[in-house]
Amino acid sequence: MKILPFFLSLAFAMPVWADTCKYQDADGHIIYSNIPMKGVKKLSCFGSDGSSSGGAAPRASQPTPSNFPKVDAGTQKQRDDTRRKILQDELASEQVALEQAKKAYAEGESDPETFKTTIVGKDGKSQTVTRRNVAAFDEKMKKLQDDVDLHQKNIEMLQKELSGLR
């Protein structure tokens, strides 16, 4: 019955922009809540970003120290150009891989999984028939489609990354 307040606080918990605090009640039970509680001892608080504030007020952001290493504009431009070149090379490789994956998919579609088997016909004679293995075909096509989707997603992400460069 003493843990009922804890479960009730979980039942009504909603995402909020408040600190979550760790409390200890008179019986020594630990309670976590984002609602200030009376009659309990506050042990520590955790900010909405997951950092521990130890019950203290959040720190103000500090300016960058004057002796902090800085990169001059020319060096940064050179780094950006190198990064752009690497991303463009990766994009070209992914586009080639996508074309190969699409080609493999098209070839897979045109070559269904089949096997030959011998059966006895109505006339009592043995004959060879070709049958399809639909499950194997579907599995093969899913893998080929997943490969195409992966390369398309990689291309989209590389293009997004490139568009973010200055």
Distance CA 75, CA 112 (A): 56
Tell me the whole-structure pTM to 2 decimals: 0.52
For the beta carbon of residue 94, count every other beta carbon within 10 angstroms: 21
Decide which of 122 and 149 is more confident. Answer: 149
Mean pLDDT of the chain: 82
Would you say residue 97 has pLDDT above 60? yes
**Sequence ranges of the domains in the chain:** 4-46, 73-163
CB 9 within 8 A of CB 33: yes
Distance CA 10, CA 4 (A): 10
Decide which of 86 and 48 is more confident. Answer: 86
pLDDT digit string, tens, across residues 115-130:
778 888 888 888 888 8
Mean pLDDT, rounded, for 66-72: 86
How many Å separate Cα 144 from the centre of its chain?
Answer: 21
Q: What is the pLDDT of residue 55?
A: 46
Decide which of 42 and 14 is more confident. Answer: 42
For the beta carbon of residue 19, count every other beta carbon within 10 angstroms: 20
Q: What is the pLDDT of residue 69?
A: 86
Decide which of 156 and 23 is more confident. Answer: 156
What tokens appear for 134 in the block?
């639909």
Would you say residue 106 has pLDDT above 80? yes
What tokens appear for 48 in the block?
């909405």
